[in-house]
Every structure is written in structure tokens, then in C-alpha cells.
Amino acid sequence: GAVVSQHPSRVICKSGTSVKIECRSLDFQATTMFWYRQFPKKSLMLMATSNEGSKATYEQGVEKDKFLINHASLTLSTLTVTSAHPEDSSFYICSAPWTGGNTDTQYFGPGTRLTVL
Amino acid sequence: EDQVTQSPEALRLQEGESSSLNCSYTVSGLRGLFWYRQDPGKGPEFLFTLYSAGEEKEKERLKATLTKKESFLHITAPKPEDSATYLCAVQKVPAGTALIFGKGTTLSVSS
């Protein structure tokens, strides 16, 4: 299947600093990518939709000034958590839709574990 | 309100003991239903996409089925390596929109 990568896989930062997470589609182009957040033993919750060439769209309750999204190219989207606080600690996962053959799906990255001290 | 509910929350099986996981959904404008496997600390791994009631798909010991209200993931003769959290998600029309996930079923298979 298609591959989506994320970097870094783990990051620990101090409260008040900013953290950038990269999401790349390695073998296909993605005009849209999605950013999800997952708390322990909880489901994936959509945070925002990243659109190449236009502004991201955010889900209700997600602070757009805190979670900055930039879709720099057809294979790269970045999520920057600004002025991170301990409550931002979570597992962040990106996905990209893929259509091939007679099916379509969304491929997910391996996730980034953010810990804010 | 769109909703995806998975049951049971957790399931313990002996190796070789077949069972089924359930995913019931309420969504307006369903385009597809997806099944993923997620191992601890990793991103979801794609298993199946189902589009219409009556559709079935198989992969090794897994078989997914779809009705108008629910989907089942049947696991035949499971092995310890099948232990994981299985996530169900729905996608609304149009194609390429974000997925709405259930909370998952955590499967443990012991030898």
C-alpha cells in the first residue's frame, strides 16, 4: 500500500515552546491531508483538513492560532503546535486519501507522540 | 448526529477461537466504511473499505461484511499476532473526506 511518513516520531518539549510535525506522502500526491489527535484508549478525533494551495479548515473547538497547518506541496503538510502546554500532550496522526484500482482509502502515518513538560 | 459505535470494547480469545467484532453506524450520506488495525503507539493500518450493503472482503483470517446499519469483522482461528485494536470508521460523501472513527475494539489472543 501507499506510504505516509511522519517526523518526528516522538518529541518532548518544555511548556511555551513550539513544535513542528511533518507529514509526507512518499509515493503519491495528496492535495488534501488530515490531522487527527488521539488520547489514550480513545478514538481518533479530526482536528483539521490540510489543503494544498489554500487555508486549512479546522474542526469546531480546535484553535487555529495554536495548531498552525501548512500544506507546502503535494506531498508535505506540517502541523505546528505553538506555545505548547501540558494539555497538548497527545498522539498526533496524519492521513492522506488515496485512490487506486477499484478502491480508495486513507493511509495513515505512524504518528507523533508529543509530551509537553 | 453522525455516530460510529464499536462493540465489544475489549475481547479476549484463545488461539483458534473465532469471533466477530461489531461496528454500528448512523450517518447521513455514507460513502464507505473502513476497517483499520492499530498496534500500540503506531498509526492505523488499512484493512478494508466496504461501499454497499451485502459487500464482503477477506484478508487472511479476517473477513469484513456490511449491512445498512452495521459492519462485522469476523476473525477466524485467530493467532496471538492478531492482537491489536481494530478501528471502524465511516466516510461521508463526497470521496476524499475525513473519516469518523469509532472507539475501537481491543483484541487479545492468547496461545
Chain B environment of A45 (Cβ under 8 Å): 101
Which chain B residue's Cα is nearest to A4? Answer: B43
Buried b (16+ CB within 10 A) or exposed e, A96-116: bbbeeeeebbbbbbbbbebeb
Instruction: State pLDDT tens for residues B15-49.
Output: 999 999 999 999 999 999 999 999 999 999 999 99
- pLDDT top residue among A48 and B1: A48
What confidence tier does A1 reach under pLDDT thresholds 50, 70, 90?
low
Contacts of B99 in chain A (CB under 8 A): 34, 44, 46, 95, 106
Q: List residues of chain B with CB under 8 Å from any CB of chain A.
A: 32, 34, 36, 41-46, 49, 87, 89, 91, 95-96, 98-104
